Structure 1
């Protein structure tokens, strides 16, 4: 990390501080985040076949992820409340790796980025999958939550190079 970078949410006195974005330009901003939940092959098959007693697991987790993105500022103390224009949560079954990949995209026209909203959407979607399947598979594992890309604002487009190598 370069020496001139500083934490944005800490003021000169070292105190927690909400960033003032009032002078920033309104631009279209997007962020994509991902996460994974590992589970048994039987649990994955139960989800795919629709045989789960709690119903459509992906539909519930998708709605939970969307709702979480909208509530991000209520959960993360220094996040700005945002008027999201799009939240999309998708699932990719990776049966060969015994996991489900969760991808969340958030978008708005605003003065601050939406990385936290995308991370929150992916995280809560994974937690919801866990909650819905824990009676069948309590040994599931959530991980790999990260920002894949972001665009908009003065920094422009950023791509997670480590994510590309995995």
Structure 2
């Protein structure tokens, strides 16, 4: 039982069996990946920024007061993926072989869909790097367009897919 009286995460999983970063007493530890096999690992994450139709038009036309929103958000996402280990405790520093951030208009929202891909050949996965890239790209879009639309909403940050590694492949909704 945890100090706050909760017995498990999500009600049924014990912390030690479900969370690899926790020791027997619930203390946080960095996972030892020294004996793991190096494999190519890829992760894709996405997020959305909903906004007023006029805000989307302004961004797509390149007329935002702060400059190139889409280009800046792409670069911010890539930079963030490379710094994930500095932002999230217990993440291993990785020699990423690829990071890409794609941003597409979604007129049905209206808003922007951000898709981030991270890849590494290594001993641990890149899910957190992809999620960090998508999150920071969305935050950058918000920052650069907030002068015209403070009601923008960031949502749907999630892991879409991951391949490689001991735990196998994952695809959201499959």
Q: 2:43 aligns with which of 31, 38, 52?
A: 31
State TM-score, norm by structure 1: 0.93
Which sections of structure 1, spanning at least 5 residues, go unmatched? none
In 1, Cα distance between the equivalents of 2:47 and 2:92? 23
Runs of 4+ in 1 over 3 A off after TM superposition: 1-5
Greater gyration radius: 2
State TM-score, norm by structure 2: 0.89
Deviates more, 1:1-10 or 1:118-127: 1-10
In 1, Cα distance between the equivalents of 2:109 and 2:145? 18
Question: Cα offset for 1:156?
Answer: 2.1
Aligned residues: 162
Question: Cα offset for 1:92?
Answer: 1.3
3-state SS of 2:63 partner = coil
The match for 1:79 is 91
In 2, Cα distance between the equivalents of 1:94 and 1:157? 28
3-state SS of 1:96 partner = coil
The match for 2:158 is 146
Question: Cα offset for 1:14?
Answer: 1.1
In 2, Cα distance between the equivalents of 1:3 and 1:142? 30
Which sections of structure 2, spanning at least 5 residues, go unmatched? 1-9
CA offsets 1:30-71 (integer angstroms, 9 cap, x no match): 000000011110000001111112221100000000000000
